[in-house]
Amino acid sequence: MSVAIRVIPCLDVDAGRVVKGVNFENLADAGDPVELAKHYGDSGADELIFLDITASSANRETTIEMVKRTADVLFIPLTVGGGVRTVDDVDALLRAGADKVGINTAGLANPDLISLAASRFGDQCIVVSVDVRRSSSAPSGFEATTHGGRKSSGKDALEWIIEAAQRGAGEVLLNSMDADGTKNGYDLELIARVREVVDIPLIASGGAGKLSDFAPAVSAGANAVLAASVFHFMELSIAQVKDELRSTGIEVR
């Protein structure tokens, strides 16, 4: 049975504002997260991802109040990540209105966090978010990074994704740090390599710039395509992306 592909906008939030940069640097203001969330919910987005991109590097928790306000205006699934360090953090975000919680930096430091969270809340709630960078020192050629891509974890990205899936992560948010914000297209090799080693749903992130970028990501193995700046700055709409995917024979929601 084929599964319809999801189109997902991503809100990268820093100090209460949606921001977007290139390779996580030179961040530009893209608006209010609650307003943008409502806009995307009304525009046909299948899900929304809310990432507090400086929570881990600034060593603080995700802004629960903003998550509540965002969840209040949405009628589609909401995934929240950034600064999630404990099972209690996962619990607090789910209670605030998140449907799924993304675990990144803390999961690499303490893989048991994924196992514990998945066993307590169910694997459908746990998304392993992986910021991947090409690296000649990693066995697969790809390393997992931490702190919003600022630090190397010393772990091979593919090995980590396999482990996270075995520990109960129900989905992978796969972000190419090399492609992030470049608008040169998704890292198709990375998507294909990850698809070869795990069978859980895979969200492709990093690099979307034009309508023709989305279908190749699906062909490479993605179950969902994520974009940020092209949606925030009105270069593309959710409807346009879905129409483009349909035109290539891909089933969308």
Q: How many residues does the chain have?
A: 253
Select from 65, 60, 159, 165 the least CA-distant residue to 106. Answer: 60
Tokens of 91: 């619990």
> CB under 8 Å to 13, separation ≥6 — which residues?
19, 33, 50, 51, 52, 53, 63, 66, 82
User: What are the phi and psi torsion angles at 123 (to 5°)?
Assistant: -65, -25
DSSP assignment of 67-91, as one string?
HHHHHHT--S-EEEESS--SHHHHH
CA 14/CA 12 separation, integer angstroms: 7
Residue 129 has which token pair?
């978010």
Is 89 known to be catalytic? no
How many CB atoms sit inside 10 A of residue 235's CB? 15
163-202 exposure pattern, b = at least 16 Cβ within 10 A, e = fewer = bbbebbbbbbbbbbbbbbbebebbbbebbebbbeebebbb
Q: For helices 87-96 and 64-72, give the axis angle rounded to 10 degrees.
A: 30
How far is Cα 157 from Cα 64, in angstroms, rounded to an integer?
29
Return the closest-CA partner of residue 148 out of 48, 29, 25, 34. 25
One of 89, 131, 156, 213 is an active-site residue; which one? 131
Q: Which of 12, 14, 89, 180 is catalytic?
A: 12
Active site residue 12: yes
Instruction: Give the catalytic positions in this structure.
Output: 12, 131
